[in-house]
Amino acid sequence: MQAVTDMLMEVAGSIGTRSFYCDVMRGVFETVASDDCQVIHYPAGGRPEYVVDEHTPERLRRLYRRFCPYDPFYRDWRLTHRAGLRQLRDVQPPDYDEGGYYTNFYSVTGYADELGLLFPALKGSAIGVFVQRDRAYRRAEVEFLSRLFPALRRLHVAHRRQLFHALATNHSRLDSSGVAIVEPSGRIAYANDSLRAVPRHEDATIEAVRCHAASDVAGVSTRIGLATVTKLDCFPLAPSAWIVVFGAGSHHADDLDGALMSFGEGLLSRREHQICCLAFSGLGNPHIADVLGISEGTVKNLRKRLYYKMDVTCERELFALFLAHLRSGKKT
């Protein structure tokens, strides 16, 4: 019992740090004497992604990435969204022994049983702590982890709160700005109250991420104003996701991004400014049309209009004008 108390104290001590889920995983791994263990993020949309996999051989990681859509724990989460402890027999389909996941994964790994502790993450997603071994887990072990889960869940909730606090610290003005977190699948996993109050915020958020992906510029212009888009670093609740902060202006951008955001200010419309930035990133009219979801003909017409407003005749002259704007540090 003292060992369990020590484990919980160690986990509590790592709340808000990168080692939190590592400590939870290690505690479960040692408590029920397992062979392998991982922490996996189950998104609401898209493919599961490893958060911690230090005990798993590379060949098994590659195997899981290939067959993860058929993971019985993942499929059960998608159907039920129930947090708690699951044993393999609780989630395996009736034809488990004949199914592709058993044939291509479990029979290759040699796992005879698996336990998963599922903690809710962002909207519709989960963080799962999993342990496996080559023999079945005893009933007493499963019941013990079931009794332990509520304490671990309370620590997880405290950790999640600390992660958002750290996020607010790293992204100043977070509380007063519209903020969204977008998963790699393109799904908005989180939006704060300030952003949800804005009409069509979903469209603007996806627009910001698409423009950022196409132009690799942090500051982008959207239908509801300027936004900065950056990759989240070591944020297990949404691995590899983007954070989009609206109303942050050039506060978060470097000199180049700031110059891009202010270039043509007062002259160019929002859409013309977007086309300008995407053109500077090297995209042609067809790609710009695809990124913005408009026709190529519309892109051509908007280009002509922005050339007229900026008093230039071609993209080369427009870029020269931008370089002069960048050097001067003044608005055009």
pLDDT at 251: 39
Instruction: Classify each residue of 303-326 as buried b or exposed e, where b means 16 or more C-beta atoms within 10 Å of its C-beta.
Output: beebbeebeeeeeeebeebbeebb
At 134-157, the pLDDT tens digits run: 999 999 999 999 999 999 999 999
Mean pLDDT of 172-197: 79
Residue 205 scores a pLDDT above 70? yes
Mean pLDDT of 249-278: 72
pLDDT at 309: 92
Domains assigned to the chain: 2-168 (3.30.450.80), 170-328 (no CATH)
31 within 8 A of 7, measured Cβ to Cβ: yes
Task: Tell me the one-letter amino acid at 249.
Answer: G
- Give the neighbor-by-neighbor strand order of the sheet with 178-182: 188-191, 178-182, 242-246, 225-231, 219-222
Which of 12, 58, 44, 86 has the alpha carbon at shortest distance from 241?
44
pLDDT at 264: 86
| Burial bucket for residue 268 (CB in 10 Å: 0-12, 13-18, 19+) | buried
pLDDT at 252: 39
Provide the H-helix boundaries in 245-314.
Answer: 255-262, 270-280, 285-292, 296-310
**Crossing angle between the packed helical segments 201-215 and 270-280, to the nearest 10 degrees:** 20
**Distance in angstroms (rounded) separating the CA atoms of residues 228 and 19:** 28
C-alpha torsion 207→210→216→221, nearest 10: -10
pLDDT above 70 covers what percent of the chain? 90
What six digits make up the tokens of 66?
């290939």
Residue 190 scores a pLDDT above 80? yes
**Distance in angstroms (rounded) separating the CA atoms of residues 14 and 12:** 5
pLDDT at 51: 92
**Distance in angstroms (rounded) separating the CA atoms of residues 186 and 3:** 43
**Does residue 264 or residue 41 have the better pLDDT?**
41
